[in-house]
Amino acid sequence: MYKYFAYRRINTVVAVQTKELLCKEFLAKPQKMLIDGKFVDAQSGKTFTTVNPATEEVLAHIPEGSKADIDMAVKAARKAFEQGPWRTLSAAKRGHLLYKFADLIEKHADELAQIETLDNGKPIKESRYVDVVQTMETFRYYAGWCTKLEGETTNVNNDFFTYTLREPIGVVGQIIPWNFPMLMAAWKLGPALACGNTLVLKPAEQTPLSALRLAQLAMEAGFPDGVINVVTGFGPNSAGEALASHMDVDKVAFTGEDKTGKEILKASLGNLKRVSLELGGKAPNIVFADADIDAAVKGAITGIFFNQGQVCCAGSRLFLEKSIHDEFLTKLNERINKMRQGNGMDEKTHIGPQVSREHLDKILSYIDIAKSEGAKVLCSGSTPSEMKQGYFVKPTVFEGVNNNMRIAQEEVFGPVLAVIPFSGIDDVVEQANAVRFGLSGAVWTRDVKKAHRLAGRIKAGTVWINCYNTFDPAMPFGGYKMSGYGRELGKHSIELYSNIKSVWLNLSE
């Protein structure tokens, strides 16, 4: 499965496979938030628990940050931005810090991978070879950007010397979800720090551990106090909302559910802070009869079952050209039957548990909805009986789906695939685009012209041709339509985290 991920391209050596629990020491110590360079409890003294979704055991007690803690963190970030050594640090030194941070992540790669798998449930191989590798490579990519940020000079007329400056925005609030806890932190922190902002990160309540470990490594790398603050807690009426609505936060970046995105946008109105949103998806994964079918079957598996389907760009609608429909589903079913489901810490696991009981229930309810809408179950459909504990749901495929059904229109965010037959390019383009999301899509064909035509016609921020879920820090990612706005990664994320200032100097006598 991993051959579809960009990690192969990266020559970084990480991860000796180890049976030793390297994160034991980290888990044994009391968990603290990072505010103004200090590791602290919530001011209220309250905590909440984070559980291992494979066993339902409590992993740790986490400080329950609230408005008071957000206020303190924003104040620290403001001070670090206006007065701290961060502002006067040379671009090269900012870059060095980001490189050092990435090196520390590499040094602790196995420990971080274990933390991620225990907290989120994802297979350890994915944590190790996708999440950790992409995390450190994202920091390295943005470390390089520090010294490449530029303004421009323009020739307005001879009476003026006119130029632009690229400046940091200021204090940035970043709210992230639980599906890629560490990687989403990297996508947010990397460009924000490269541009010279200071920030407050609010990880998801389901998976706060890797962000807290990253906070420790950031301090070890030597970031000045207050530049990076991490406040753990909940969303509505809590830390998340306080951050999104804070009058002294200059920008908020959010990844998560579209409904929450709207709440963030509303909360931002008070001071009209800048907002970037990366929301849901319902991606069309389109297979033409002239495709390499075996490769497309693997791509369909990666598209929907990677990370237990908890991926915003998951290929959750599989469009099959009618002539290959039955052959494709037979092959797909064969491969699904070979997938091993279990505890993510087991090296042999392909598919782990869902992140939480609440999320599992949501997925199971969508399976019921699909059945009641008349979709036919090709395989599975309920929690495997052999899984006594944990939030497991078997890989599920529905055939005979109509693109108007809820199972084809709404984001399930689980290992649930909707298969829809099609007959020709215009038909599939129309159906692919008939959805409110537009984050990604994929096309499988050997016809190069058809592939490029489709890439142009699919309304989505990313189109994969004969591959799925490939990522690289240099390639932008973001949505059309209700999948959000703004592009993360690549040079485009620099736009999200910097302001352009025009300077006019009067030269006239």
Torsion of CA 432, 437, 438, 439, to 10 degrees: -120
Beta carbon of residue 179, minimum distance to ligand NAI (angstroms, whole number) = 5
- What is the residue-wise DSSP string for 235-271? STTSHHHHHHH-TT--EEEEES-HHHHHHHHHHGGGG
> Rounded distance, CA 196 to CA 220, Å?
19
> CB 430: neighbour CB atoms within 10 A?
12
23 catalytically annotated: no
Q: How far is the CB of 162 from ligand NAI (least distance, A)?
A: 40
Write out the residues near ligand NAI by the rule CB under 6 A.
Answer: 175-179, 202, 204-205, 234-236, 240-241, 244, 255-257, 260, 263-264, 279-280, 312, 359, 362, 411, 413
- Report the residue number, 245 or 343, with the smaller CB distance to ligand NAI: 245
DSSP structure string for 446-459: S-HHHHHHHHHHS-
- Give the closest residue to 26 by CA, choosing from 64, 65, 60: 60
Where helices occur in 83-121 by DSSP H, the ranges are 85-88, 91-107, 109-120
Cβ–Cβ under 8 Å, residues 249 and 236: no
What count of other Cβ atoms lies within 10 Å of the Cβ of residue 207? Answer: 28
Shortest distance in whole angstroms from residue 240 CB to ligand NAI? 2
251 or 325, CB closer to ligand NAI? 251
DSSP state of 30: P
Nearer to ligand NAI, 65 or 395 (CB): 65
**Which of 116, 109, 111, 100 lies closest to 26 in space, CA to CA?**
111
CB nearer to ligand NAI: give 31 or 260: 260
Nearer to ligand NAI among residue 48 and residue 234 (C-beta): 234
- The CB-of-491 to ligand NAI minimum distance in angstroms stands at 22
Task: Report the nearest approach of ligand NAI to the CB of residue 203 (Å).
Answer: 6
106 included as an active-site residue: no
51/388 Cα distance (integer angstroms): 16
Residue 433 CB, shortest distance to ligand NAI, in Å, is 19
Name the residue nearer to ligand NAI (CB basis): 264 or 367.
264
Query: What is the secondary structure of 331-382 as a DSSP string?
Result: HHHHHHHHPPBS-TTSTT-SB---S-HHHHHHHHHHHHHHHHTTPEEEE--S
Residue placing its CB nearer to ligand NAI in the complex, 52 or 238 = 238
- Residue in 111, 205, 278, 321 annotated catalytic: 278
Please report how close the Cβ of residue 318 comes to ligand NAI at its closest, in angstroms: 19
Judged by DSSP in three states, 293 sits in helix
Q: Which is nearer to ligand NAI, 95 or 240 (CB)?
A: 240
Residue 396 or 445 having the CB closest to ligand NAI: 396
- DSSP letter for 223, please: P
Sign of CA dihedral 409, 414, 416, 417: positive
- Chain centroid to Cα 345, Å, comes to 21
Residue 302 and residue 459 in contact, taking contact as beta carbons nearer than 8 Å: no
CB of 204 to ligand NAI, least distance (A): 4
If 0-12 CB within 10 Å is exposed, 13-18 middle and 19+ buried, where does residue 102 land? buried
DSSP-assigned beta bridge partners for residue 48:
62
Q: Could you say which DSSP state residue 19 is in? A: -
Shortest distance, position 121 Cβ to ligand NAI, whole Å:
14
Closer of 177 and 353 to ligand NAI (Cβ): 177
In the complex, the smallest distance separating the C-beta of residue 332 from ligand NAI, rounded to whole angstroms, is: 23
Residue for token digits 């237990």?
308
Give CA torsion, residues 300, 301, 304, 310, to 10 deg. -150
Instruction: Give phi and psi for 411, each to the nearest 5.
Output: -80, 115
Set 23, 146, 195, 312: catalytic member? 312
Q: Are 418 and 370 within 8 A, CB to CB?
A: yes
Catalytic residues: 278, 312
